[in-house]
Amino acid sequence: MTWVMTSKMQFYLHDDESLLDGLLRTGHDVNYQCREGYCGSCRVRNVSSSHPIAYPFVPLAMLEEDEILPCCCRVQGVIHIDHELISE
């Protein structure tokens, strides 16, 4: 089970649920467009995580060291993110 912590709340991801879908399900305001890792509009800041963040494929969006794409990343364990809009 994956636990997600934001400034708003703590919740867990359902089986096979993306981080983006979990954020939307719990009422977080996250921009998104492609859901494929191309546009980068859903990027959030990874504050900390108990396991490495993985991607099933290399995303095309340019990311800073502490940014992740909730639409396509794979998270495990406990992750703490800053979901506030990151300006490009």
Question: Which segments within 1-88 are labelled E, that is strand?
Answer: 2-5, 10-13, 44-49, 67-68, 78-82
Q: For residue 13, give both structure tokens.
A: 């991801």
Average pLDDT over residues 72-87: 87
CATH of the domain spanning 1-88: 3.10.20.30
| pLDDT tens string 6-44 | 998 999 999 999 999 999 999 999 999 999 999 999 999
pLDDT given at position 63:
95
Q: What is the model's pTM?
A: 0.92
pLDDT given at position 82:
94
| pLDDT tens string 42-66 | 999 999 999 999 999 999 999 999 9
Domain ranges of the chain: 1-88
Residue listed under structure tokens 């509009």:
41
